[in-house]
C-alpha cells in the first residue's frame, strides 16, 4: 500500500488520500491526472474503505475507460471485470439493459449512431411532407439533441415562435418513431437513464446506496444532463471526486458546460479543491508559453503550471510564403530530427481543421516520410460494415426501419423507390414498422419486398443456433453482400473489412465470454454503436502523427508542430465571430496544443494558403503574439519576410493572381494618414476598382479602395 502512494507529490498525495468528501481536482496538463484518479480508486479499495462493487468511475471515451481499468488492475490485485468503469453512454446503456422493462424499452433495443439518427430524421421529414429546405435535417438533429442534453422532452420544449413550434412537433414525431422502432440515439441513452432513476425510487435508492464513491474524469467536458445524472446518483451520500481542467475545455460547441466546474464547487466541493500544478511533461519554455497564452482568458478557475525540468529549448517559429513552403520546412525539419535519432512516432503535426492535412501529407509522401493521419472514417462507420450490421439488426429487431431501409435493396433486388413509397405509406397507415407492413403490400411491390422478407426470415432460421462469428459470416455470404463486393471493381478492401468484422465478432466472444442481456448478437451490435472502432489499424508503426488539435487532447509527444497559425484559421473565424467566448475556446485549444509537447515545439504559419479552392492571404495568428518574444527563436527573420515576397510563381503553387499594377503587394508595409503603418494582406481588382486589405495592428484590418485611400509604401 505504501508503494501505491510512494512517488506522489504533495497535492497528488493529498488528493489520493482524501477522506470521504466531495472534491474537485483541478489537474493541469501533464500533472498526472489519470494517475491520481486510478490511484485514488486503488487507495480506497486497498484501505478497505470500499469494495469494487461500490465504485463508479466515469469517462468520456472508451479509450480512457480502458486505460483506467488497465492501470487499476496493475495497482491492485482485483478483478476489474465487474466494476462500473466506463463512459457515460456505456454505463447508461448497462443500466438500461438491466432494467429495460422499467425504462420502457424492448430487451433488444438498438442504438442509433449519428448517421442513423440523421437518416431517420430525413425519412421522417419525407413521410410527413415537410420541406427539408425550411427544416434542414442536420439543424433538426441538433435541435433535438440539444434539448435532450438539457433534459427537455418534446412535451416540455418551449415553442417561442411558429417555426420552433413546428420543430417541437417534429421532435415529438421523432420520439414516437424511435419508440415504435425500439431504438435510442446517443443522447437518449443518457436522458432515458436519467428519467429512469428519477422516476423509479426503489431503483434510484438501490444505486445511490450501492455506489459510495463516484469518480469523474474530464469533468470540464460534462454537459447539463450528465451533471444532473451524477447529482442523482450521488443523492444517497456517495462522494464525488471530479477531475478536470477548465483550461482544457474545448468541447463547448457540442454542449460541454465548463460552468459545471463552478457549479460543482458551489454544490459539492466547497473547500475541497486541490490543484495539481506541477507538470511532468514539458520543458520550461513550453510551459511558460502555455501559461502566457492562457493568462489572456478571463473566466478561469486559476492555475499556474510549473516544472523543475529546466527551460529546455526555445520555441521555434517559422513563417512560410505559402502553405506549401510551410509544409516543406516542416518535412525538412522532421527528416533532420529523424536523422538525429528521434522516433517518428514522437513527432506530431497538429492543425486546427482536418482539411489542412492534405498539403502536409502530400509533402511527407513526396519525401518518403511515413506518416499516419488520425480521425478519418472509423471501422464500424464504413458502408459495407454498416450494411452487414443492418442485416444483423433486422434479425434482432425487425421493427428497425433504419436498418430495413439500408439493406432492403442492397444488394439490388429490384425494389425501387415506388415500391418503398408504397410500403412506407402502408406502414404509416397501419402505424407499424416497414417489416410488418410488407405483408399487406399487393402487386409487384408485394412480391419483391416479400422476397426480401423471406430472405430475412430464412437467414434468421439458418443462423438461429450458430455462434456469433459464424452467424456474421453466414449473413455476409447469404445476404449477397459478399457477392456484390466481389464483382465490384473497388470491392477488395470492402471484402477485407467484412472479414475483419467476422474477426471482430470472434474476438468479442473471446473477450466477453459472450452474452449480456439479450444475447451475444445484441451486445455485439451495442459495441458496434458505442465503440465505433478505436481509430484505425497500424497504430504502432514508425510514422509521424498527424491530427487535429482536438484529437491530440490527452496525448503527448517529444516534438510538436502547431501548423497553420493564421488569423481566421487558428483562431478560426467562425469561432471569433461567436464573440469573446468563441475566442477564449480557441485559446484553450491553442493551450492544449502547446502543452502536448515534451521537449520541442514549433509554431508555424504561412502568408498564403489554398482554402476552398482559392488562395487566401494570411496574417499570423494573434496567438503567436501572445507568446513572449524571449521564448521564441525565429527561424526566418520577420523583417526579411515582409520585403522578400517572392515573384509570382516562384514557389511552386505561386499566387492566384499576379501582383496588381499599382505596385502594392501582399506583405508590403504601407502608411495611412489616419491608421498609421500596416501590412498588406490581400489585394483585389485592378485599376479604379483596386482594393487592398491592410492589417493596421491596433487600428484593425481594413479594406481600402486605392482610388480614395492614400497609401505610401514604407
Q: Which residues bind DNA (CB under 7 A)?
A: 60-63, 87, 89-90, 113-114, 122, 186-187, 250-251, 253-254, 352-355, 358, 375, 409, 412-417, 530-532, 547-548, 550-551, 572, 574-575, 578, 610, 612-613
Q: Where are the beta strands (DSSP E) in 211-305?
A: 213-216, 239-244, 273-276
Least separation in angstroms between residue 266's CB and DNA is 26
Q: Which is nearer to DNA, 6 or 417 (CB)?
A: 417
Nearest to 58 by CA among 221, 265, 269, 252: 221
Q: Which of 12, 117, 220, 248 is catalytic?
A: 248
Q: Which of 149, 181, 188, 217 is catalytic?
A: 217
Q: Which is nearer to DNA, 107 or 578 (CB)?
A: 578
Gap between the Cα atoms of 422 and 547, Å rounded: 46
The answer to whether 60 touches 87, Cβ cutoff 8 Å, is yes
Alpha carbon of residue 157 to chain centroid:
27
Burial 442-454 (b: 16+ CB within 10 A, else e): eeebbebbeebbe
Q: Which is nearer to DNA, 53 or 358 (CB)?
A: 358
Least separation in angstroms between residue 87's CB and DNA is 5
Q: Which is nearer to DNA, 199 or 418 (CB)?
A: 418
Least separation in angstroms between residue 407's CB and DNA is 12
**H helix intervals, 76-156:** 88-98, 114-127, 137-149
447 given a catalytic annotation: no
Nearest to 80 by CA among 53, 61, 62, 98: 53
332 given a catalytic annotation: no
Least separation in angstroms between residue 146's CB and DNA is 12
Q: Which is nearer to DNA, 338 or 532 (CB)?
A: 532
Residue 363's CB is within 10 A of a number of other CB atoms, namely 21
133 given a catalytic annotation: no
Least separation in angstroms between residue 12's CB and DNA is 26
Place of cell 521537449: 599
Q: Which is nearer to DNA, 452 or 602 (CB)?
A: 452
User: DSSP string spanning 385-422?
Assistant: HHHHHHHHHHHH-TT-HHHHHHHTTSS--S--HHHHHH
Least separation in angstroms between residue 140's CB and DNA is 14
Q: Which is nearer to DNA, 188 or 319 (CB)?
A: 188
The answer to whether 621 touches 565, Cβ cutoff 8 Å, is yes
596 given a catalytic annotation: yes
34 given a catalytic annotation: yes
Q: Which of 596, 598, 600, 616 is catalytic?
A: 596
Residues 6+ apart with CB under 8 A from 677: 669, 670, 671, 696, 697, 714
User: DSSP string spanning 540-569?
Assistant: TSS-EEEEEHHHHTT--EEEEEE---BTBB
Gap between the Cα atoms of 569 and 352, Å rounded: 7
Least separation in angstroms between residue 271's CB and DNA is 32
33 given a catalytic annotation: yes
Tell me which residues are annotated as active site.
33-34, 217-218, 248, 596
Amino acid at each position: 500500500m505504501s508503494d501505491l502512494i510512494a512517488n506522489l507529490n504533495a497535492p497528488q498525495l493529498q488528493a489520493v488520500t482524501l477522506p470521504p468528501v466531495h472534491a474537485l481536482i483541478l489537474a493541469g496538463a501533464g500533472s498526472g491526472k489519470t494517475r491520481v484518479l486510478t490511484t485514488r480508486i486503488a487507495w480506497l479499495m486497498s484501505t478497505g474503505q470500499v469494495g469494487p462493487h461500490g465504485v463508479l468511475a466515469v469517462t468520456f471515451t472508451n479509450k480512457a475507460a480502458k486505460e483506467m481499468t488497465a492501470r487499476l488492475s496493475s495497482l491492485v490485485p482485483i478483478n476489474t471485470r465487474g466494476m462500473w468503469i466506463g463512459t457515460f453512454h456505456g454505463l447508461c446503456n448497462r443500466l438500461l439493459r438491466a432494467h429495460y422493462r422499467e425504462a420502457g424499452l424492448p430487451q433488444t433495443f438498438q442504438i442509433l449512431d449519428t448517421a442513423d439518427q440523421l437518416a431517420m430524421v430525413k425519412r421522417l421529414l419525407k413521410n410527413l411532407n415537410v420541406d427539408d429546405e425550411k427544416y434542414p435535417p442536420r439543424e433538426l438533429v441538433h435541435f433535438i439533441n440539444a434539448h435532450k442534453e438539457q433534459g427537455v422532452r418534446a412535451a416540455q420544449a418551449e415553442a417561442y415562435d411558429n417555426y420552433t413550434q413546428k420543430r417541437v412537433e417534429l421532435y415529438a414525431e421523432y420520439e414516437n418513431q424511435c419508440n415504435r422502432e425500439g431504438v435510442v440515439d446517443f443522447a437518449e441513452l443518457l436522458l432515458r437513464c436519467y428519467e429512469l432513476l428519477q422516476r423509479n425510487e426503489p431503483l434510484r435508492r438501490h444505486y445511490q446506496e450501492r455506489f459510495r464513491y463516484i469518480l469523474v474524469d474530464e469533468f470540464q467536458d460534462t454537459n447539463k444532463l450528465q451533471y444532473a445524472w451524477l447529482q442523482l446518483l450521488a443523492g444517497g451520500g456517495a462522494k464525488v471526486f471530479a477531475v478536470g481542467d477548465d483550461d482544457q475545455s474545448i468541447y463547448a460547441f457540442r454542449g460541454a458546460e465548463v460552468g459545471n466546474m463552478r457549479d460543482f464547487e458551489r454544490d459539492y466541493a466547497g473547500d475541497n479543491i486541490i490543484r495539481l500544478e506541477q507538470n511532468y511533461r514539458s520543458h520550461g519554455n513550453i510551459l511558460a508559453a502555455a501559461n502566457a497564452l492562457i493568462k489572456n482568458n478571463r473566466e478561469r478557475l486559476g492555475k499556474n503550471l510549473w516544472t523543475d525540468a529546466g527551460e529546455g529549448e526555445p520555441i521555434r517559429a517559422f513563417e512560410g510564403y505559402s502553405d506549401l513552403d510551410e509544409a516543406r520546412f516542416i518535412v525538412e525539419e522532421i527528416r533532420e530530427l529523424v536523422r538525429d535519432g528521434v522516433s517518428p512516432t514522437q513527432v506530431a503535426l497538429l492543425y486546427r481543421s482536418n482539411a489542412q492535412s492534405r498539403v502536409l501529407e502530400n509533402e511527407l509522401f513526396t519525401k518518403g516520410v511515413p506518416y499516419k493521419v488520425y480521425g478519418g472514417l472509423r471501422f464500424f462507420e464504413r458502408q459495407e460494415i454498416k450494411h452487414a450490421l443492418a442485416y444483423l439488426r433486422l434479425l434482432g429487431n425487425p421493427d428497425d426501419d433504419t436498418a430495413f431501409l439500408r439493406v432492403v435493396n442492397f444488394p439490388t433486388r429490384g425494389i425501387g423507390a415506388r415500391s418503398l413509397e408504397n410500403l412506407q405509406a402502408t406502414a404509416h397507415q397501419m402505424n407499424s414498422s416497414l417489416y410488418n407492413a410488407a405483408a399487406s403490400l399487393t402487386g409487384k411491390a408485394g412480391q419483391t419486398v416479400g422476397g426480401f422478407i423471406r430472405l430475412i426470415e430464412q437467414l434468421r432460421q439458418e443462423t438461429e443456433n450458430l455462434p456469433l462469428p459464424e452467424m456474421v459470416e453466414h449473413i455476409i455470404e447469404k445476404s449477397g453482400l459478399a457477392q456484390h463486393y466481389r464483382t465490384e471493381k473497388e470491392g477488395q478492401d470492402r471484402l477485407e473489412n467484412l472479414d475483419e468484422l467476422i474477426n471482430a465478432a470472434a474476438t468479442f466472444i473471446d473477450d466477453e465470454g459472450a452474452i449480456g442481456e439479450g444475447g451475444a448478437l445484441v451486445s455485439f451490435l451495442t459495441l458496434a454503436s458505442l465503440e465505433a472502432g478505436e481509430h484505425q489499424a497500424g497504430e504502432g508503426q514508425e510514422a509521424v502523427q498527424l491530427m487535429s488539435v482536438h484529437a491530440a487532447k490527452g496525448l503527448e509527444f517529444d516534438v510538436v508542430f502547431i501548423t497553420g497559425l493564421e488569423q481566421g484559421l487558428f483562431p478560426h473565424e467562425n469561432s471569433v465571430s461567436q464573440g469573446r467566448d468563441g475566442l477564449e475556446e480557441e485559446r484553450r485549444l491553442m493551450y492544449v496544443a502547446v502543452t502536448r509537447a515534451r521537449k520541442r515545439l514549433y509554431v508555424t504559419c504561412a502568408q498564403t494558403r489554398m482554402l476552398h479552392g482559392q488562395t487566401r492571404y494570411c496574417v499570423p495568428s494573434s496567438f503567436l503574439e501572445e507568446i513572449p518574444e524571449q521564448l521564441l527563436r525565429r527561424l526566418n527573420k520577420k523583417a526579411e519576410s515582409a520585403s522578400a515576397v517572392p515573384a509570382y510563381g516562384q514557389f511552386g503553387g505561386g499566387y492566384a493572381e499576379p501582383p496588381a499594377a499599382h505596385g502594392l503587394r501582399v506583405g508590403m508595409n504601407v502608411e495611412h494618414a489616419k491608421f498609421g503603418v500596416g501590412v498588406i494582406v490581400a489585394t483585389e481588382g485592378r485599376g479604379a476598382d483596386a482594393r487592398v486589405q491592410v492589417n493596421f495592428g491596433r487600428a484593425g484590418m481594413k479594406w481600402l479602395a486605392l482610388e480614395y485611400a492614400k497609401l505610401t509604401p514604407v
